Amino acid sequence: MQLVTIPEIEAAAQRVAGTAVRTPLLRQSWVSGELWVKPESLQPVGAFKIRGAHNAIAALDEAERRRGVVAYSSGNHAQAVACSAQSFGIPAVIVVPDVTPRIKVEATLGWGAEVVEVPIAERESAAHAIAEARGLTLIPPFDHRDVIAGQGTIGLEIAADLPEVDTVLVPVSGGGLAAGVGTAIKARCPGARVYGVEPELAADSAESLRAGHRVDWPMSRRARTIADGLRAQPSELTFAHLKAVLDGIVTVSEDEIRDTVRELARRARLVAEPSGATAVAAFLHRSGELPGGRTVAVLSGGNIDPALLAELLA
């Protein structure tokens, strides 16, 4: 399998410039050790997903793009596709489960997308059917070279801003983010280690990497974690990248995730969603399992229910 290459990530960086924010590295003085946070929570749509979605849409040929795009997701990827489509002035259809909270549907509508609600089991087939019927291009959340390359632009920025980085920590779910970031870091900073981070309750990739092949955890098992953005599993394509670029995966507990959301708000003045806080949680709570040194943690998103944030802060 041909892995995503640095030229593909460099091309993505050109395409996402002006749409994705060039996020700074924020040195954290309140921790022991040397930690910089990469706050992807500050992206439009509040998560790194805009990079991959926008790169994939920008890479379409003009005629294809003009017909529009479709995605199935109730989370940050949906909003990223809708946001990018709006910036191109093209139609976007987002297929969501009919149990999606109203607030997420409203957010997607806010980016000008058409939202189609279907029973959860029909999500993927409905999206394919709509793509077929209307001539739209399906933009997958992670199983796509251009999406991986887009997420990889985070790694290029880390390497540019802190070329002497020793360790990069990145959440793992479907694996697009870790694949892209790991590829960029290994190319630009060959001495750096790249670690994935998963919730203990959705540690399918940790088990898969140990086994050397993908191990399936049923959704009922993965759904237990509060980190609702980390319940996907790698595809064949992203898993091949994880095997190639990750030095390891560490897992964090639910309490460690909650504690980190609180500390990020209090000490770093950053609103993180539970999934987004996991890499920082690994730094704070699992330092014994990490190489240490100059460490960058990717804070992947900030779309937390305000009531949950209030509960954690109170």
Binding site for its own copies (CB under 8 A): 21-24, 26-27, 29-30, 39, 41-42, 44, 46, 83, 110-111, 262, 265-266, 268-272, 302-303, 306-307, 309-311, 313-314
Residue 49 CB, nearest distance to its own copies (Å)? 14
Residue 43 CB, nearest distance to its own copies (Å)? 9
Q: Which is nearer to its own copies, 43 or 55 (CB)?
A: 43
Quick one: tokens of 147? 């999406």
Q: Tell me, yes or no, if 186 is annotated catalytic.
A: no
Residue 312 CB, nearest distance to its own copies (Å)? 8
How buried is 14 (Cβ within 10 angstroms: 0-12 exposed, 13-18 middle, 19+ buried)? exposed
Q: Which is nearer to its own copies, 95 or 270 (CB)?
A: 270
| Distance separating the N- and C-terminal Cα atoms of the chain | 49
Q: In what order do the strands lie in the sheet with 137-138?
A: 114-118, 92-97, 69-72, 137-138
Q: Which is nearer to its own copies, 19 or 183 (CB)?
A: 19
173, 208, 275, 300: which is the annotated catalytic residue? 300
**Cross-strand partners of 250:** 197
Contacts of 282 (CB under 8 A, 6+ apart): 169, 195, 197, 250, 252, 289, 290, 297
Phi, psi of 18, rounded to the nearest 5 degrees: 95, -20
SS3 203: coil
Whose tokens are 């994705």? That residue is 20
Residue 158 CB, nearest distance to its own copies (Å)? 15
Q: Tell me, yes or no, if 74 is annotated catalytic.
A: no
Contacts of 164 (CB under 8 A, 6+ apart): 189, 294
Q: Are 299 and 168 in contact (CB under 8 A)?
A: no
Residue 247 CB, nearest distance to its own copies (Å)? 28
49, 74, 173, 235: which is the annotated catalytic residue? 49
Q: Which is nearer to its own copies, 262 or 286 (CB)?
A: 262
Residue 302 CB, nearest distance to its own copies (Å)? 3
Q: Which is nearer to its own copies, 46 or 199 (CB)?
A: 46
- Up-side HSE of residue 34: CA atoms within 13 Å toward CB? 11
Q: Which is nearer to its own copies, 24 or 101 (CB)?
A: 24
**Which spans in 33-139 are helix H?**
49-58, 62-67, 76-88, 102-110, 123-134
SS3 189: coil
Residues annotated as catalytic (active site), given as ranges: 49, 300
